[in-house]
């Protein structure tokens, strides 16, 4: 039956009951008034406690995006109330909540900056939501977390895939996962399982609730056909209204049609009541009073700057206006609705301005992210091409990546494009980095081959006894090894141990042979140590000739011991020092003593097939002779300035003495020269 037919039937039924209503009007007025007053009390209590209920349930959601406040369904008013955009936004949100009353709790969940979280943090947040929140209230959060996690893992996956291919892998064989990815997938599987079970139960409940509401509508439709006194019918109507309020959620796509049909037949019932004008006016007055209270509260909210809280409470006011209160007298309908709509528009405009400011903040974040991307591009184009330079660039990129994720949200319309641009820049950097290290690995592989060749030479010659030939070769390959660059890290220790082992093997043999050859020299050294101690203990007799003979005998014994290891020759210097001490104690001519010491020195300078030490001493003596002669000539020239001066003059005497000393020194140096010439 169409709505038009319903109206016609209603008019007919009104006529049939006309007489009955007139005769019972006075008796029923007082009873109905009581019912109206009781109903008014209930609704008034709701209006008075709206703020308390909303504030108690409200959790500040400053980060809520505009998309969270929008819903998909469109509400169509069937009264004189207009359907402006600002009203539609409220009713769309209420329609969404109508399907599942707990959906309103989604607004109380704190919206976090998932973009700035690491994959570990995203997994932890996801697990916390699944464990501690109602499964049906977290969908938008889960979707955002899943999107961010997949984006970050996808970036990692691309990087690992590129490395795999660069190392020679086949793309078709590539596979990569992590324990974190498996954990995230497990959480998501649990979420989907729980959500599926919830919606399966919800579907059954929604259908049952819809059937119940449709049954209530049918009962309201039938009230005008019931032959009973108006008081009983009115009480029945109020009971059905209460049942409607408590009937529970229904499918979202059925919400508006069901409510419009319900509202339509409620108005028909009020038209049915118009025969009892006092009763109808009393109900209209009650509805007007309560709607005025709602308007006053809405106008208070219009002055509040917390746009999210006011929108939440405004939703409740609209739901109460629409579902809990009936119509008012026609002469008031447009006025009160326009006033309520005006307050709603003020809140709506504030909310739009808030999101406009939010978009401006997002634009600032966008500029910051664009700057970060530019810096990544600049680092990518940097010409530094050493391992150290690349390590520095890698650290810089990691810092920029973290800064990008912490830069905050950008406008939704450019979010995907910005993310794609960021990934492209990072991918370009990684491509260059991988190309560098791929070339570095190529060089390292070449270095490895060179070192393997040196290892082969070392191992081929480690047992060779031709020491005079092999020793220079082994020293050369050791020098060449140091000049070769890095090899792959996995091979570094292995090849070094091989090379070191072969070289040590050879040089251990060399040292063993040298030690055998030097055994006699070591024994000679030990004999010289003993003789040195004996010489240190010599006590001179005071008789020069006898003491000189003792010294010469010890010198002869020292020379008879033979050669000692080159690294032990310092003992000869100790012996000569002791001899100098003994010579210094002799009571004899200094010139003779000097020649004795010189003869001993010459014995030490004389080396088989090596005259370098004698040559150096010969040159030294020649220089000293020339130096002394020069001094004598200078002093003799100075005497020419003392003409007609007595030789007893102290100054002249001093010059003459110096000349004499130099001549004596010259005699000794010339004797030394003759001695050294005899050594050749």
Task: Tell me the CA distances in angstroms from 250 to 31, 95, 194, one per residue in order.
Answer: 34, 10, 21
Please tell me whether residues 336 and 210 are part of one structural domain: yes
- At 543 the pLDDT is 85
Task: Using alpha carbons, select from 395, 296, 308 the residue that is nearest to residue 343.
Answer: 296
Q: Burial of 549 by CB count in 10 Å (0-12 exposed, 13-18 middle, 19+ buried)?
A: exposed
Q: Which long-range contacts (CB under 8 A, 24 or more apart) does 60-66 make?
A: 60/306, 60/308, 60/309, 61/107, 61/108, 61/109, 61/110, 61/111, 61/308, 62/308, 63/110, 63/111, 63/112, 63/113, 64/107, 64/111, 64/308, 65/111, 65/409, 65/412, 66/355, 66/358
Please tell me whether residues 37 and 177 are part of one structural domain: yes
Residue 396: HSE in the Cβ half-sphere, 13 Å Cα cutoff: 19
Please tell me whether residues 185 and 298 are part of one structural domain: yes
- Number of Cβ within a 10 Å radius of residue 393: 18
- At 62 the pLDDT is 35
3-state helix, strand, coil in the chain (%, to 5): 80, 0, 20
Q: Which of 516, 535, 558 is the last residue of a domain?
A: 516
571/559 Cα distance (integer angstroms): 13
Domain count across the chain:
5
Please tell me whether residues 83 and 68 are part of one structural domain: yes
Please tell me whether residues 60 and 33 are part of one structural domain: yes
Q: Which of 492, 516, 540 is the last residue of a domain?
A: 516
Please tell me whether residues 584 and 672 are part of one structural domain: no
Please tell me whether residues 90 and 127 are part of one structural domain: yes
CB 195 within 8 A of CB 136: yes
Please tell me whether residues 403 and 428 are part of one structural domain: yes
Q: Which of 435, 452, 476 is the last residue of a domain?
A: 435
Domain hosting residue 482, numbered range: 441-516
- At 22 the pLDDT is 36
Is the pTM for the entire model greater than 0.75?
no
- At 248 the pLDDT is 83
263/284 Cα distance (integer angstroms): 15
Please tell me whether residues 331 and 480 are part of one structural domain: no
68/451 Cα distance (integer angstroms): 65
For 610, list phi and psi in degrees, rounded to 5. Answer: -150, 105
Please tell me whether residues 472 and 347 are part of one structural domain: no
CB 87 within 8 A of CB 344: yes
Q: Map 481-548 to HEC letters.
A: HHHCCCCCHHHHHHHHHHHHHHHHHHHHHHHHHHHHHCHHHHHHHHHHHHHHHHHHCCCCCCCHHHHH
What residues does 610 pair with on adjacent strands?
Answer: 607
Q: How many helices (H) and strands (E) does the chain have?
A: 23, 0
CB 251 within 8 A of CB 5: no
Q: Which long-range contacts (CB under 8 A, 24 or more apart) does 50-55 make?
A: 50/294, 50/297, 50/313, 50/316, 50/317, 50/320, 51/297, 51/313, 53/316, 54/309, 54/312, 54/313, 54/316, 55/309, 55/313
- At 27 the pLDDT is 39
Q: Burial of 36 by CB count in 10 Å (0-12 exposed, 13-18 middle, 19+ buried)?
A: buried
221/234 Cα distance (integer angstroms): 13
107 Cβ neighbours under 8 A, 6+ residues apart: 58, 59, 61, 64, 68, 308, 312
Please tell me whether residues 137 and 212 are part of one structural domain: yes
Domain holding 620: CATH number?
A: 1.10.287
- At 44 the pLDDT is 46
Mean pLDDT by 10 residues, the chain (680 residues): 35 35 37 42 44 36 33 33 60 60 57 82 91 88 88 82 74 86 92 88 86 91 79 86 86 84 84 67 86 91 86 86 82 89 88 83 90 92 84 90 87 86 88 81 86 92 90 92 87 91 91 78 89 90 84 86 84 87 77 74 69 83 89 83 68 82 86 81
386/373 Cα distance (integer angstroms): 23
Q: Which two tokens stand for residue 8?
A: 């016609």
Please tell me whether residues 344 and 456 are part of one structural domain: no
């Amino acid at each position: 039956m169409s709505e038009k037919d319903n109206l016609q039937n209603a008019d007919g039924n009104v006529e049939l009951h006309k007489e009955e209503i007139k005769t019972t009007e006075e008796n029923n007025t007082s009873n109905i008034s009581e019912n109206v007053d009781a109903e008014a009390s209930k609704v008034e209590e709701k209006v008075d406690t709206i703020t308390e209920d909303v504030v108690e349930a409200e959790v500040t959601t400053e980060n809520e995006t505009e998309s969270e406040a929008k819903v998909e369904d469109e509400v169509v008013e069937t009264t004189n109330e207009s359907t402006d955009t600002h009203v539609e936004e409220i009713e769309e949100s209420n329609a969404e909540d109508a399907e599942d009353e707990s959906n309103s709790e989604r607004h109380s969940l704190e919206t976090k900056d998932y973009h700035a979280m690491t994959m570990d943090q995203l997994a932890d947040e996801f697990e916390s939501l699944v464990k501690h929140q109602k499964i049906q209230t977290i969908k938008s959060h889960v979707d955002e977390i899943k999107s961010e996690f997949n984006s970050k893992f996808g970036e990692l996956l691309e990087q690992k895939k590129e490395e795999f291919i660069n190392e020679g892998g086949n793309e078709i064989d590539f596979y990569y996962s992590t324990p974190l990815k498996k954990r995230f997938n497990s959480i998501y599987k649990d979420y989907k399982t729980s959500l599926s079970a919830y919606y399966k139960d919800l579907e059954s409940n929604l259908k049952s609730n819809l059937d119940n509401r449709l049954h209530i509508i049918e009962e309201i439709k039938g009230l005008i056909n019931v032959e009973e006194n108006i008081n009983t019918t009115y009480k029945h109507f109020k009971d059905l209204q209460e049942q409607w309020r408590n009937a529970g959620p229904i499918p979202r796509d059925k919400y508006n049609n069901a409510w419009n049909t319900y509202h339509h037949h409620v108005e028909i019932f009020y038209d049915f009541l118009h025969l009892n004008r006092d009763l109808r006016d009393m109900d209209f007055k009650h509805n007007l009073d309560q709607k005025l209270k709602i308007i006053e509260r809405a106008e208070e909210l219009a002055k509040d700057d917390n746009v999210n809280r006011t929108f939440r409470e405004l939703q409740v006011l609209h739901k109460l206006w629409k579902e809990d209160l009936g119509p008012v007298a026609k002469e008031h309908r447009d006025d009160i609705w326009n006033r309520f709509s005006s307050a709603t528009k003020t809140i709506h405009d504030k909310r739009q301005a808030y999101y406009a400011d939010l978009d401006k903040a997002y634009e600032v974040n966008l500029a910051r992210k664009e700057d970060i991307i530019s810096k990544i591009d600049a680092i990518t184009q940097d010409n530094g091409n050493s391992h150290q330079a690349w390590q520095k660039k890698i650290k810089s990129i990691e810092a920029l990546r973290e800064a990008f994720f912490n830069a905050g949200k950008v406008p939704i319309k450019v979010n995907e494009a910005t993310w794609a641009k960021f990934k492209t820049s990072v991918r370009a950097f990684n491509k260059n980095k991988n190309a560098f290290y791929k070339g570095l690995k190529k060089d390292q592989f070449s270095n490895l081959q060179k070192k393997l060749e040196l290892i082969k030479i070392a191992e081929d010659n480690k047992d060779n006894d031709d020491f005079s030939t092999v020793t220079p070769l082994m020293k050369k390959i050791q020098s060449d090894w140091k000049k070769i660059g890095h090899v792959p890290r996995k091979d570094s220790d292995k090849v070094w141990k091989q090379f070191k082992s072969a070289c040590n093997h050879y040089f251990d043999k060399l040292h063993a042979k040298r030690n055998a050859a030097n055994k006699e020299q070591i024994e000679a050294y030990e004999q010289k140590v003993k003789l040195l101690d004996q010489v240190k203990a010599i006590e001179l007799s005071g008789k020069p000739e006898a003491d000189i003979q003792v010294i010469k005998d010890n010198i002869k014994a020292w020379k008879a011991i033979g050669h000692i290891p080159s690294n032990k020759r310092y003992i000869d210097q100790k012996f000569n020092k002791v001899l100098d001490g003994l010579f210094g104690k002799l009571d004899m001519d200094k010139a003779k003593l000097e020649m004795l010491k010189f003869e001993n020195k010459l014995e030490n300078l004389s080396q088989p097939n090596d005259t370098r030490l004698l040559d150096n001493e010969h040159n030294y003596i020649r220089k000293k002779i020339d130096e002394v002669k020069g001094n004598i000539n200078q002093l003799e020239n100075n005497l020419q300035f003392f003409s007609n001066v007595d030789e007893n003059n102290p100054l002249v005497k001093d010059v003459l003495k110096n000349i004499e000393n130099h001549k004596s020194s010259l005699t000794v140096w010339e004797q030394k020269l003759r001695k050294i010439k005899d050594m050749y």
